[in-house]
Amino acid sequence: MPRHVNYRVKIDHPFKILSRLMKYVYKINTYKIILVIILLIVAAVTQVSSMSLLKSLIDNVVPDLLANPENMTPLIVILLEMSGLFLVSIASTYAYAFIMVFITQDTLKILRDEMFYHMETLPIRYFDSRTIGEVMSTYTNDTDSLRQMISQSIPQITSSFITIVSVFVMMITTSWILTIVTVCSVFLMLIAIKIIGKRSSTYFMDNQIVLSKINGYIEEMIEGQKVIKVFNHEQEVKDGFDELNNHMRESNYRANKYAISLMPIIHNLGYVNFAVTAVVGSILAFSGFGGFTAGAFATFLLYNKQFTQPIGQVSNQINFIFMALAGAQRIFALLDEKGETDQGDVTLVNVKEENGNLIEVKEVTHHWAWKHIESDQSVRLIKLCGDVRFYDVTFGYDEDKTILHDISLYAKPGQKIAFVGATGAGKTTITNLINRFYDIQKGTITYDGIDIKKIKKEDLRRSLGIVLQDTHLFSGTIKDNIKYGKEDATDEEVYQAAKLAKADQFINLLENGYDTYITGDGGNLSQGQRQLLAIARVAICNPPVLILDEATSSIDTWTESLVQEGMDELMKGRTVFVIAHRLSTVRNSDAIMVLDHGKIIERGSHAELIEKKGIYYQLYTGAFELE
């Protein structure tokens, strides 16, 4: 199970990604954001203001106190002022941090909602090329990486920016010479941040991608545990995981190596800057150059620390920012995936017939028509009969590999059409084209004379009842799963659908009957029982056209005979497409299509094909197998 893949991807246009992300932050939090900015400004300004009082304390209050020790009032006043400013700064910091929790969760909710809603519009092709774990990682790891950045990193950077601007103004007013010294040192810090940050960003992106691959691998291995144990592949599976895990360890090591090295560099440059500023400042203070006092010197040293400290704090957030941007890039990649295009304008409506004319009605009549609005806004109703035709259809899942070659066939209303052939012959592909899971490259498919591209996908699929070979049940009761085909169905309709599919026999034997809770895709049921529920789910929606893709493949022969009775009743008066390996189940079909390598090589009724003594005859008698 080779895993030698280079997952490394750069973060493209980080500022563009950040700008796009901020739009989600502002989307429903405008007033909260304004309040946070005000609180950040208050916190920064009060902190800087409290430091500016130090100059007055040293230059004025302390000398006065030494001259007149009994007068403590000026000292108490200035200390109270400083304490009050510090308290306001602390309260403002707490308040904006508290508000940011709500802003962060609101933003992540909007993102997850939009991701999920958009995912539901994506074509089947998207999921064909990705594992469940990879997609899930976008919802979990990638969105969680944004939490740290939105709640802490962005406020910290904003606060640092406000502090830097405020302190810079105060530094200039205190000493322009020392300000130049400080700015030169800070310039070196920014260069270090740029060089090291650029290196770490690549590995943080790499880490997010490998993490999604690990999630996909674990999900795949959990689903395949029985197969792994049957073939004794435990060691191979471990080796595959080790390779991915080692890759993740390596990318984490490299990313954090650069990120962690940044902090000591910034701190030491800060200490150097402080020392140089102290030396130059002491010279200015002792010489009295430009009226530079001891109080100004002490205050400037505080400004120096306050000016470089935010830069260190920003550098400390670099790894979180790059990790979040890597996650945001993957999230936006999902959101930018092109959804299913649906240019159809023909809809499916309930109708009743009066005096030979079709009339659209709102109530359920179990009679349908295609509603087509003409260019002159007149409405034309075309009765849904179930006439499906293929005209020279060619299709491939990708342009380099054609699966179906010039397929032409028709299914008249009420006919049962069966497809037989080897695995990979194209049987399931044909049915996937009817419901437009995929669009054809060449040819035409019509439904009651209407090109299916002109029918809205939702209405097209609503007219089709499909039982897939791979059943999928949802967490919930058996009743809920049957009602999935018709959410407003009554309990009586549920019971009738179960009886029709012969599922009621095993359901009634369960302790809680129809209220039995299913988890893990029906893991507490047999494969045959799950298939029976899938058939009941289709039966309850009473579709005019049925597609049965190996619908009885997981049912034993005895159960199959029971289900066939219900299926025969369900198929009456409907157009039915059947895919089956058991040729005994297609004997009563109106037409049987024998496929091989994407081509129809024989067609006709069971009797006609037996009489021809061709491929179908040899298949039926067991003398030949399609390869």
Look at the domain 14-38+97-335 and name its fold.
ABC transporter transmembrane region fold (1.20.1560)
What is the residue extent of each domain of the chain? 14-38+97-335, 347-383, 388-621
Residue 485, pLDDT > 70, answer yes
- pLDDT score recorded for residue 443: 92
Side chain identity at residue 31, one-letter code: Y
Q: What is the pLDDT of residue 202?
A: 64
With cut-offs at 50, 70 and 90, classify the pLDDT of residue 3. very low
Select the more confidently predicted residue: 496 or 2. Answer: 496
Neighbouring CB atoms inside 10 A of 77's CB total 11
- pLDDT the model gives residue 5: 43
Q: Which residues pair with 416 in a beta bridge?
A: 576
DSSP state of 146: H
Q: Which of 215-224, 301-310, 359-368, 407-416 has the highest mean pLDDT?
A: 407-416
Provide the strand spans (E) within 463-606: 464-467, 476-477, 517-518, 545-549, 575-579, 591-596, 599-604
Average pLDDT across the chain, whole number? 81
Residue 129 C-alpha from the chain's centroid: 14
Q: Which residue type sits at 382?
A: I
Out of 174-183, 198-207, 376-385, 529-538, least confident range: 198-207
- Convert the pLDDT of each residue in 388-407 to its tens digit: 999 999 998 877 788 899 99
pLDDT in tens, 502-558: 888 888 888 889 999 887 667 778 877 888 888 888 888 888 888 888 766 666 677
211: Cβ–Cβ under 8 A, 6 or more apart, which residues?
137, 141, 248
Q: What's the rounded mean pLDDT across residues 428-435?
A: 88
Residue 392: predicted pLDDT:
93
Partner residues linked to 546 by β-bridges: 465, 576
Residue 223 one-letter amino acid: E
What confidence tens digit (pLDDT) does each residue in 117-157 have?
888 888 888 887 777 777 888 888 888 888 888 888 888 88
Using a pLDDT cut of 90, give the percent of the chain over it: 7
Length reported for the chain: 627
Do 46 and 90 contact (CB within 8 A), yes or no?
no
At residue 7, the pLDDT reads 46
Phi, then psi, of 424 in degrees rounded to 5:
90, 5
* Mean pLDDT score, 242-265: 74
- Region 443-467: mean pLDDT is 90
The pLDDT value given to residue 624: 47
Alpha helices for 420-556 (secondary structure H): 427-434, 457-462, 478-482, 491-500, 504-507, 527-539
Residues paired with 372 in a beta bridge: 380
Q: What is the pLDDT of residue 6?
A: 45
Is the pTM higher than 0.85? The answer reads no
pLDDT of residue 388: 92
CA–CA dist 436, 413 (Å, integer): 20
- Domain covering 388-621 in this structure, CATH number: 3.40.50.300
